[in-house]
Structure 1
Amino acid sequence: MGRARLASQRHRVRIAALQILFEVDETDHAIDQVLERRLTDEPMSQESAEFLRRLVFGAWEHRSYLDRIIEEAAPNWPVAQMPGVDKAVLRIALFELLIDDVERTPIKAVINEAVELAKQFGSDNSSRFVNGVLGTVVTRYLADRDDTVEE
């Protein structure tokens, strides 16, 4: 499979992850039911489904830690008051950057994807905010990580 096609599939998976995390965070819906409903309504390859599960469950299970990282990087923006889209985008990106040990997506690819999701689904300022938070996190936590391969 070519890089462009893989990147496009991963973009669709990240959109699904964003929408699932947003729904779960804003409602009392059970995360496993929301995820399974999404997989039923929008079939995808086994690889994409595994990536979706990893993003959704990983970001959700680590949300307290990820939220602390967000608040350190943006102390004037408490996570509790943050728009749901921005919060979900940042949780997904930070999970990929800091926690995911199954694969290491290049930093630039994670940031670009997060900024695109923020542009597509967030407010007018979301993409700048997301880019700023992720830039701060990368400087603080990942400055010595060598990423030369693009997704």
Structure 2
Amino acid sequence: MANRHLARTIALQTLYEWDFNKQQGNVAELLKRNIAEFAPEFDDQQFSENLVKKVIEYLPHLDTVIREYAPEWPLEQITVVDRNVLRIGIYELQHDKDIPPKVAINESIELAKTFGGPSSGKFINGV
């Protein structure tokens, strides 16, 4: 698995757990544990840390964008995986100028296909 894809996967796992637990708990500790458990030799830890931090920082804006572009899907009804894949993708598209838009979109679709349900990739691509 490429480093940046692995970094996004770890960020998604961390955001998923944090969101699933009603955004409670120390997200930095969750991230540290996920890196130790799933990628102990991981050398791009800073990318995951920054991604998680920035998604949480921009959370109100990201959720507003999701509501705008998926009006028929209340945020609370979108699965936790899909909701956080969208947050990561939208953050990278709108706020991380180092990530080409095509990469942000493709990575989001791949994360959704890997961790979401059967139609998650299509849903993410549609939003």
Query: What TM-score do you get using the length of structure 2 for normalisation?
Result: 0.90
Aligned-residue RMSD, C-alpha = 1.4
- Identical-pair percentage: 41
Report the Cα offset of residue 30 of structure 1. Answer: 1.8
Report the Cα offset of residue 104 of structure 1. Answer: 1.9
Partners in 2 of 1:78 and 1:30 — Cα distance? 27
1:11 to 5, 8, 17: 5
Partners in 1 of 2:67 and 2:51 — Cα distance? 20
Partners in 2 of 1:106 and 1:12 — Cα distance? 17
Query: What TM-score do you get using the length of structure 1 for normalisation?
Result: 0.77
- Which portions of structure 1, spanning 4 or more consecutive aligned residues, are displaced by more than 4 angstroms? none
Any residues of structure 2 matched to 1:1-151 within 5 Å, and which? 8-27=2-21, 28-41=24-37, 42-43=39-40, 44-45=42-43, 48-100=44-96, 103-133=97-127
**Structure 2 alignment gaps of length 5 or more:** none
Number of aligned residue pairs = 123
Partners in 1 of 2:116 and 2:30 — Cα distance? 21
Report the Cα offset of residue 92 of structure 1. Answer: 0.6
Report the Cα offset of residue 40 of structure 1. Answer: 3.1
Matched residue type, 1:50? Q
SS in 1 for 2:72: coil
Report the Cα offset of residue 81 of structure 1. Answer: 1.5
CA deviations on 1:40-87 (whole Å, 9 max, x unpaired) are: 333311xx1110011111111211110000110110111122100001
**Structure 1 alignment gaps of length 5 or more:** 134-151
Assess if the C-alpha contact under 8 Å between 1:85 and 1:121 holds in 2.
yes
Partners in 2 of 1:40 and 1:119 — Cα distance? 24
Larger Rg: 1
Matched residue type, 2:98? R
